[in-house]
A and B are shown apart, each in its own frame.
Chain A
């Protein structure tokens, strides 16, 4: 319906297209970076490995065992967890229109942690069939995350309007309640359980194994796909809920998808590696600085950067005190917490 109000200048939108092309390139660079770090992660560690030797079959049997059952699942897990947490943070920040939002904020991580911890402490008494045992903790964590988000959604929509402020406030209350539950389980647990529980709370990829990794990879992959598919709607939501609706976005459906997608991604991440702080907060912010706020590029960018940074953080955790290792969350929090303070100082009051 070109009305040709005035003459048009053909060069006018050229810059816009150039900007968008360069953003695509930057996402590509992040993907390549994640790939390079992935290869580094595979070879660096207490037992140094050589990729060419493994590919050509000249590696020793010991090296092959280390690669197949320790190194590879660990690095893959780190990559997937980083991607899932990064993209979940980006999607939640978009949903809340608040750069300080984080999967931990609305209680999803705490809910998942409570589910997993209750299984660690009470699992032995349940007499679960043997085949289900490796999946018991992940399933309990996802259930915890879903219960929290389901409750959040039900509670908030009971008031007719699913407002973002309501969601945040209820999230704070849920976090507090989960802390109570976690504390109670800590009190109930014996010394051995407590050790495992504390180590798990600090986050680590040390216990990665294929039986739990493969289903978790599928769940996290689906979560990432669902969230990426909402990129344009999340962009429009930045204009405000009413304005997004005026542009044809079904905001109720968008919120549902983001909340459920985040619950599955964060739930399975927490189940396999414990609580790893600040990745969901820091990664999206870095991608916004590097690429821009548009979700079409931000969401995949956050997945790639999250994966790369998590693999790097895990490498640091593994090699800093060889042959022992520190929990990866110590690494992410050591960098993330000061960043968080800087962010609070920088963000204009909403």
Chain B
């Protein structure tokens, strides 16, 4: 395959009026990996995700998806290549859970049934079928939206180019068990040539599920690399302006962050 692959931010700046929100962000998000965007509130994590999704146009720099600048792709083309789970949104009318799920399917009619079944089983949301989306709890709604984003990624089988799944705090309303389940699924999809970028607040989850971490503060990248490189007691304490300690937990064999 000669085409370059990957989702790349090249010198991305974004400002809202006079306020600079992202400043010269560079980063590469490869298919087959999970990248977590971490950093304190207002660091620009969600904004970066929206720029990567093509919703916001960078005021300078550009984002390339598999070598093509996002500017050159129509929203239909983009929809087949990447799916986005935004922070929870409300639906006014009384749509059924399965109707909301189906909204994510962009493929052929014939593939819908199988695609739908796969995500329903994978996300364990069968008990929620037949209910009105509005009557679900915030966490349940979030699981449905995650399943919908997953279905959207699965509906592209036209090309072999990698796809991307962008998640903005997908677990903010979930209990511990569902939090782990969602992130495990996010890890599972990367085996299908999918690159995952996820905004996470929980540093322990980030260190456990991500292959790459991007630490942001005031719109600037403070560190980018494997969790072992980025999660450093001194760096984190300085970025979050609060004392934090990173230790390797021998029994679990992973880094733990203590406040």
Contacts and interface: CB of A to CB of B under 8 A. Distances in A.
Nearest to A12: B117
A174 B99 CA distance: 36
Given A13-B113, A99-B93, A5 B106 contact: no
A45 interface: no
Given A236-B103, A242-B86, A8 B114 contact: yes
14 contacts: A1-B156, A5-B118, A5-B122, A5-B188, A7-B121, A8-B118, A8-B121, A9-B121, A16-B116, A240-B86, A246-B53, A246-B79, A292-B96, A292-B99
Task: Please tell me the size bucket of the interface on B.
Answer: 35 or more
Nearest to B56: A242
B94 A12 contact: no
A238 B192 contact: no
Contact of B103 (A4, A19, A239): A239
Interface in B95-111: 95-96, 98-100, 102-104, 106
B22 to A, nearest CB: 18
Contacts of B117: 8-10, 12-13
A350 B92 CA distance: 8
Contacts of B118: 2-5, 8
Nearest to A240: B89
A97 interface: yes
Contacts of B95: 238, 292-294
Contact of A239 (B53, B80, B91): B91
Interface stretch (A120-128, A141-149, A247-255, A313-321): A247-255
A247 B121 contact: no
B121 A13 contact: no
Interface residues of A, number: 36
Given A2-B118, A236-B103, A293 B80 contact: no
A293 B132 CA distance: 11
A176 to B, nearest CB: 26
Nearest to B112: A13
Contacts of B120: 12-13
Interface in A238-282: 238-240, 242-243, 245-250
Contacts of A3: 118, 154, 188, 191-192
B245 to A, nearest CB: 37
A6 interface: yes
A249 B78 CA distance: 10
Given A3-B191, A247-B152, A250-B74, 18 more contacts: A1-B156, A2-B118, A8-B114, A97-B92, A97-B93, A98-B92, A99-B92, A246-B53, A246-B82, A247-B79, A247-B83, A248-B76, A248-B80, A292-B94, A292-B96, A293-B93, A293-B95, A294-B99
A12 B136 CA distance: 20
Nearest to A11: B117
B257 interface: no
Interface of A: 1-10, 12-13, 15-16, 19, 97-99, 235-236, 238-240, 242-243, 245-250, 288, 292-294, 350
A246 B76 CA distance: 8
Nearest to B82: A246
Interface of B: 50, 53, 55, 74-76, 78-80, 82-84, 86, 89-96, 98-100, 102-104, 106, 113-118, 120-122, 126, 129-130, 152, 154, 156-157, 188, 191-192
A243 B154 CA distance: 17
Given A245-B55, A246-B84, A238 B92 contact: yes
Contacts of B116: 12-13, 16
Contacts of B53: 246
Given A19-B96, A236-B103, A246 B113 contact: no
Contacts of A2: 114-115, 118
Contacts of A10: 117
Which of A6, A13, A294 has most B Cβ within 10 Å?
A: A13
A255 B176 CA distance: 41
B92 A235 contact: no
A8 B115 CA distance: 10
Given A1-B154, A246-B79, A294-B99, A288 B55 contact: no
A260 to B, nearest CB: 20
A240 B84 CA distance: 12
B86 A243 contact: yes
A16 B100 CA distance: 12
Contacts of B188: 3, 5
A15 B83 contact: no
Contacts of B96: 19, 292
A202 B78 CA distance: 49
Which of A8, A10, A16, A235 has most B Cβ within 10 Å?
A: A16
B92 A239 contact: no
A3 B106 CA distance: 17
Given A246-B53, A292-B96, A235 B75 contact: no
